Structure 1
Amino acid sequence: MIDIEEIGLKAKNASVELQKVSTKKKNAALLAMATALEKNTARIIVENSLDMKDAGDNGVAPAMLDRLKLTEERIRAMADGLRNVAQLSDPIGEVIRGWVNEDELQISQIRVPLGVIGMIFEARPNVTVDASGLTFKSGNAVILRGGKEAIRSNIVLADVLREALEENKLPVDAIQMIDDPSHEGVNQMMHLNQYIDVLIPRGGAKFIQMVVQNSTVPVIETGAGNCHVYVDELADLKKALPIIINAKTQRPSVCNAMEKLVVHSAVAKELLPQLKEALEPFNVDLRGDEATKAILPDIKLATEEDWGTEYNDYIMAIKIVDSVDEAIAHINKYNTKHSEAIITEDYTASQKFTNEIDAAVVYVNASTRFTDGFKFGFGAEIGISTQKLHARGPMGLNELTSTKYVIRGNGQIRES
């Protein structure tokens, strides 16, 4: 049985050592990690292929297998992500604001690391690399616990990164992978307040809520994406079709993929037959309300459960509405506060949508697939926060910091 407390103590000690590491050394280590990933591509793919075989034998859905699979191109992309992180400004020590108060005290608010970050995630081995790079650059130690489907992939990736740290004479325990996929490890992490400063779960909605409801360690809620695209009555349908197809089919297993389409009744009869035809090569299972079935009679009738479900698959439910207000009400009722989009040429409608939709990211005339730390210029992301406290949206380096106040005086004492 793994000793989570020992792992936590090692991470806490490593986080203290990281505070002494210069930006130059951190960047050099990140570049070394990137090179190590590329040099060990064959070793990584061997372990990943074993995970893929087991997952396939266990009936894991094709869309989820896509999340799990590592290729030379994906490993190279992970390495490039580390290089991008190395190029970013180091947030630690940044003075956010400073002033002199009435007592002539010089007050500065500066960025500091969170400390030790716990990551609990499911079958996405790229999280191992993204999380390790971002936490290391921001001066945090990380404890990683991946899902059983990717256990070999996660272990080999963490080993490669730790080897690069050791070669650069930096604390290897800044990155630790729990190699026991049992639930006992998760339970212990959720109550390791003395060592873990914040816990970040990534996975399905039920899994995330389990962590939120049971953890005594502070949690940043991430990931679940019941994302919508709303096609307004004044939408340019030539824009709408490619956006919908991209948002739904490019990678349906990821959290920023579109799950639901909301269409204004004024354009539904023109748009929906074209969309159905365009989606046929992807074998998308379409479902819809009564109004949608009147236009596309051979699709399934959507249930109440459909509206709140994150499919992570080639499935899409369609709702027809009579106004932008009805669209907003429907989306806010069922969304997971992740990413929502409006397709319209009406500025007033777009402003209303962006102002009133409750989500971390809101798009006008663009695919929800862009909700990504790399695409936002963060180098990578540790997750997409769907809550409102501390961080919201894709979390990069700045979101992995806290602040402290440094006060400089000249003998002042308080008299009242």
Structure 2
Amino acid sequence: MSEDFLKVALAAKEAAAELAPLPRAPKDAALRVIADALVAASAEIVEANALDVRRAVENGVSEYMVDRLRLDDARIASIAEAVRQVADLPDPVGEVVRGNTLPNGLELRQVRVPLGVIGIIYEGRPNVTVDAAALCLKSGNATLLRGSSSAYESNTVLVRVMQEALAGTEVPAGTVQLVPGTSRDSAKELMRARGLVDVLIPRGGASLINSVVEESTVPVIETGVGNCHVYVDADADVELAVQILLNSKVQRPSVCNAAETLLVHAAVADAFVPRALAALAAEGVTVHGDDRIAAYGDVVAAGEEDFRTEYLSLDIAAAVVDSLEEAVAHIRRYGSAHTEAIVTRSVGAARRFVSLVDSAAVAVNASTRFTDGGEFGFGAEIGISTQKLHARGPMGLPELTSTKWVYTGEGQLRTAQGTVLASTEACSR
């Protein structure tokens, strides 16, 4: 482990110990100071970001990925506002999850506590640097941030601005740390920092997530890629289905909750598919369709991989299915367990789809784009988990905590015969 990494990791661990017992007020105050500091430093942040953007363009990065990287005054103001919204959210630390009084008189409580030091490995989007730091701070955790090399200039300035802002608050400045370096070795150091880092959260494409899950010795909360489906049922309102499809695919195609696959029940295909193809074409979307979709218009022939692909672009795979059950089977085979949507007027079909689909989020007559911490009222999310342990779906503040058991008695002692009470005199000392 390099000295540079060890320095920031130890600083984060020390900060986490100081931060954990702080009540809500100083954490909220620190977040508002950070928000103001980000706005005040907009010019400096934009200047650093311009270097990252120019390098990305020179390296031939797609326009969608460059858009995720780019910062301007308006986006920085939006990032700062998201920090203020996190400050306004309830503090999960200390919340009693459950509790009761045991037959032996012990008062038992399970309470939320910070995880400690959270490492985050992520790609592209520098807004994640601030979102993650804010959510971790509010939930009492220190952060070790390892963004992609493509955003290193932006992330360096963002972290420095946040650290300088924290220096004047009750929250230790070491709460927010940037992992030094841009090489793969720096990411590996974070993945192998068991004992210094309590949990690791990857955010990005499939290759990044798989690499972290397979190589990390630190416990991982797995966020997933978004091969999201829109299923148009036999009893769908065709016009509504077109609008939901377009919003799910086109509103922002480069994010994980954008739709990547369209499934259409054969009973509604004649009415829906021609209108859908025309609407998608008007928005510049390339459709990768199976033979039954191709019968309705000019599409790219879809192969097996097309239905597994998270395009993150104006592309979508499409197929006709003969039943709701076939649609669910398709989703189970090719999906990523992120978000699936059904468009239907049938309450029974909606209920069956929801019960059969095993994904982090299921939308009924609504766009897939709503699977988002902000839209769910969680504040800025730290990621969307597609695993089943601890956290699933958009990860807000409660998902960044663990719990501890606290039991309070009046001198209860456990013996072979059961519980007895110690003497009053002994208990009072």
Shared fold per TM-score greater than 0.5: yes
Partner of 1:3: 4
Unaligned runs of 5+ in 2: 417-429
Residue 300 of structure 1: how far off its partner (Å): 1.1
Partner of 1:365: 365
Partner of 2:38: 37
1:112 paired with 2:81, answer no
Give the letter for the 1:385 counterpart: S
Partner of 2:424: none
Q: Contact between 2:280 and 2:286, CA under 8 Å: does it hold in 1?
A: no
Partner of 2:234: 233
Q: Contact between 1:120 and 1:186, CA under 8 Å: does it hold in 2?
A: yes
1:342 paired with 2:342, answer yes
1:406 paired with 2:411, answer no
Partner of 1:214: 215
1:375 paired with 2:349, answer no
Give the letter for the 2:160 counterpart: D
After superposition, what is the alpha-carbon deviation per residue over 1:209-261, rounded to whole angstroms, capped at 9, x for unaligned?
A: 11101111100110310000000011111211111111111111100000000
Partner of 1:389: 389
Partner of 2:290: 289
Cα distance in 2, alignment partners of residues 330 and 223 from structure 1: 18
Partner of 1:166: 167
Residue 5 of structure 1: how far off its partner (Å): 2.1
Describe how 1:1-80 pairs up with structure 2 within 5 A. 3-80=4-81
Q: Contact between 2:49 and 2:154, CA under 8 Å: does it hold in 1?
A: yes
After superposition, what is the alpha-carbon deviation per residue over 1:279-312, rounded to whole angstroms, capped at 9, x for unaligned?
A: 224321111111111112x211101011111111
Cα distance in 2, alignment partners of residues 359 and 74 from structure 1: 31
More displaced 10-residue stretch of structure 1: 16-25 or 196-205: 16-25
Cα distance in 2, alignment partners of residues 116 and 313 from structure 1: 34
Q: Contact between 1:285 and 1:315, CA under 8 Å: does it hold in 2?
A: yes
Cα distance in 2, alignment partners of residues 282 and 163 from structure 1: 44
Cα distance in 1, alignment partners of residues 38 and 172 from structure 2: 18
Cα distance in 1, alignment partners of residues 113 and 67 from structure 2: 36
Unaligned runs of 5+ in 1: none
Q: Secondary structure at the match of 2:177?
A: strand
Give the letter for the 1:337 counterpart: A
Residue 169 of structure 1: how far off its partner (Å): 4.5
Q: Contact between 2:26 and 2:170, CA under 8 Å: does it hold in 1?
A: no
Q: TM-score, normalised by structure 2?
A: 0.95
Cα distance in 2, alignment partners of residues 321 and 110 from structure 1: 47
* Identity between Structure 1 and Structure 2 (%): 51
Cα distance in 2, alignment partners of residues 154 and 276 from structure 1: 40
Q: Contact between 1:143 and 1:176, CA under 8 Å: does it hold in 2?
A: yes
Q: Contact between 1:151 and 1:179, CA under 8 Å: does it hold in 2?
A: no
Higher Rg: 2
Residue 2 of structure 1: how far off its partner (Å): 5.9
RMSD: 1.1
Q: Secondary structure at the match of 2:105?
A: coil
After superposition, what is the alpha-carbon deviation per residue over 1:53-90, rounded to whole angstroms, capped at 9, x for unaligned?
A: 10000010111111111122221111111111111111
Residue 6 of structure 1: how far off its partner (Å): 2.1
Partner of 2:310: 310
Cα distance in 2, alignment partners of residues 101 and 42 from structure 1: 59
Distance 1:261 1:2, change over 3 A: farther
Q: Secondary structure at the match of 2:412?
A: coil
Describe how 1:83-94 pairs up with structure 2 within 5 A. 83-94=84-95
Q: TM-score, normalised by structure 1?
A: 0.98
Q: Secondary structure at the match of 1:195?
A: coil
Q: Contact between 1:155 and 1:179, CA under 8 Å: does it hold in 2?
A: no
Residue 170 of structure 1: how far off its partner (Å): 2.6
Cα distance in 1, alignment partners of residues 189 and 134 from structure 2: 24
After superposition, what is the alpha-carbon deviation per residue over 1:111-144, rounded to whole angstroms, capped at 9, x for unaligned?
A: 0000000000000111001100000000000000
Residue 159 of structure 1: how far off its partner (Å): 1.2
The count of corresponding residues between Structure 1 and Structure 2 is 415
Q: Secondary structure at the match of 1:414?
A: strand
1:301 paired with 2:301, answer yes
Give the letter for the 1:292 counterpart: I
